Amino acid sequence: MGIDGQKPLLPLLLLVIATVAVFPASSRSPPSQPAATLPSFRRAPLFPGKRSHPIKVQQRQQYNYQTRYFLQDLDHFSFADLPKFRQRYLINTEHWIGPERRGPIFLYCGNEGDIEWFAVNTGFVWEIAPRFGAMILFPEHRYYGESMPYGSQEEAYKNATTLAYLTAEQAVADYAVLITDLKRNLSAENCPVVLFGGSYGGMLAAWMRLKYPHLTVGALASSAPILQFENIVPPDTFYNIVSNDFKACCS
Ligand SMILES: *[C@@H]1O[C@H](CO)[C@@H](O)[C@H](O)[C@H]1NC(C)=O
Ligand SMILES: *[C@@H]1O[C@H](CO)[C@@H](O)[C@H](O)[C@H]1NC(C)=O
C-alpha cells in the first residue's frame, strides 16, 4: 500500500515550512468569526491579492485550467545523451496579478499519479488563489499520467535502467526547471513561488523548498511523512499511534 493509501488512517499531520509570508499570524481569525477579513501586512505586501474582500466560501468549486506541455531533460544531474520527455502541467492565470504587481505563483508539487486527479482534489489552493491574486500551477510528476519518458508507460517501466530516473530528486528538479522557464516566458521573475503538496507531494514541497530556496518563498506540506524514514522514526511508530488511538476509544 502506498503512502496515499494510508492517508485516511494518518493523524492529521500538518507541516508548515516557512509559510511566514503566506499565513502571517494576523490572518488567523478566532473560531467565532468564520468570515475572516484578509491579513493586513505590516511590511510591504508580498502577495497583492484582493485583501480587503471577505472570504467567500464557494459552494461549487470550478476547476478551470489549461493543459500545457514542457520538454524536460530525463536526467538533470548528468550530461548523458538521453531522450527528453514531455511533462504535462496545468495552469490557471484567471486571478493572477502579474508580473509588475508580483502576484504569487502557487505551485502544487504533483504526486505519484495523474495530475488532473490532484488538481480537482486540492480545493484549498483554488479557494485561496483569488485572495492572493495568485497563479495556480499543477505540474505532473515524471513517470505518471501523461508525463511519461521513453514514449510510453510500457517502455518507461521496462527495467531498472529505464526506471533509474524515477526519483524524488529528479521530480523536484523538473519543477525547478519548469518554474524557472515559465517565469522567464512570462517575465515573471519577481513573482514569489509558494509550494503546496499533500502526502508524498507534501514531501516534495518541503524538499523543494529546502533544495531550491532561491526559487521559492515557502512550502505547505500537508500530511507529509517527511520524517517517517529508517533511523529517524522507528517503523512501528505509526502503528503504535493507531493502536493507542483504538485502545483509548474502544477499551
Ligand atoms: C532495459 O531496456 C532497454 C530498452 O529496451 C535496453 O536497451 C536495456 O539494455 C535494458 N536494460 C536492462 C538492464 O535490462
Ligand atoms: C517557454 O516558451 C518556449 C518557447 O515558446 C516553450 O518552448 C516552452 O515550453 C515554454 N516554457 C514553459 C514552461 O511552458
Domain ranges of the chain: 61-226
Instruction: Quote the DSSP letter at residue 138.
Output: E
| CB 87 within 8 Å of CB 147 | yes
Q: What is d(CA 74, CA 83) in angstroms, rounded to the nearest whole number?
A: 7
Q: What percent of the chain has pLDDT over 90?
A: 69
Q: How many CA atoms lie within 13 A of 6 on its CB side?
A: 16
Q: What is the pLDDT of residue 98?
A: 87
Q: What is the pLDDT of residue 55?
A: 47
Q: What is d(CA 179, CA 195) in angstroms, rounded to the nearest whole number?
A: 11
pLDDT value at 126 more than 50: yes
Long-range interactions of 214-217: CB distance < 8 A, separation 24+: 215/176, 215/179, 215/180, 216/107, 216/192, 217/18, 217/21, 217/22, 217/46, 217/104, 217/192, 217/193
Instruction: Quote the DSSP letter at residue 26.
Output: G
pLDDT value at 11 more than 70: no
Q: What is the pLDDT of residue 60?
A: 53
Instruction: Quote the DSSP letter at residue 208.
Output: H
Query: Residue 204: phi, psi to the nearest 5?
Result: -60, -40
Q: What is d(CA 38, CA 28) in angstroms, rounded to the nearest whole number?
A: 9
Ligand nearest, relative to CA of residue 160:
1
* Coil/strand/helix, residue 83: coil
Average pLDDT value for the chain: 83
pLDDT value at 47 more than 70: no
Distance from the alpha carbon of residue 184 to the mean position of ligand 2, in angstroms: 9
Distance from the alpha carbon of residue 135 to the mean position of ligand 2, in angstroms: 17
Q: Which residue has the cell 500551477?
A: 137
The 10s digit of each residue's pLDDT in 50-109 is 544 444 544 455 799 999 999 999 999 999 999 999 999 999 999 999 888 999 999 999
Q: What is the pLDDT of residue 100?
A: 86
Q: What is the pLDDT of residue 238?
A: 87
Distance from the alpha carbon of residue 72 to the mean position of ligand 2, in angstroms: 11
pTM above 0.95, yes or no: no
pLDDT band at 230 (very low <50, low <70, confident <90, very high): confident
Question: What is the residue with the minimal CA distance to atom 13 of ligand 2?
Answer: 182
Q: What is the pLDDT of residue 46?
A: 57
| CB 135 within 8 Å of CB 47 | no
Q: What is the pLDDT of residue 251?
A: 66
Q: What is the pLDDT of residue 37?
A: 45
Peptide bond into 48 cis (omega under 30): no
CA distance readout (Å), 17 to 143, 155, 164, 205: 27, 37, 29, 9
Q: Output the CATH code of domain 61-226.
A: 3.40.50.1820
Q: At what angle do helices 200-211 and 168-185 cross, to 10 degrees?
A: 70
Q: What is the pLDDT of residue 64?
A: 96
Q: What is the pLDDT of residue 109?
A: 98
Distance from the alpha carbon of residue 108 to the mean position of ligand 2, in angstroms: 19
Ligand nearest, relative to CA of residue 150:
1
Q: What is d(CA 204, CA 197) in angstroms, rounded to the nearest whole number?
A: 7
pLDDT band at 4 (very low <50, low <70, confident <90, very high): very low
With 0-12 CB in 10 A as exposed, 13-18 as middle and 19+ as buried, what is 91? middle
Q: Which residues contact 75 (CB under 8 A, 6 or more apart)?
A: 82, 165, 170
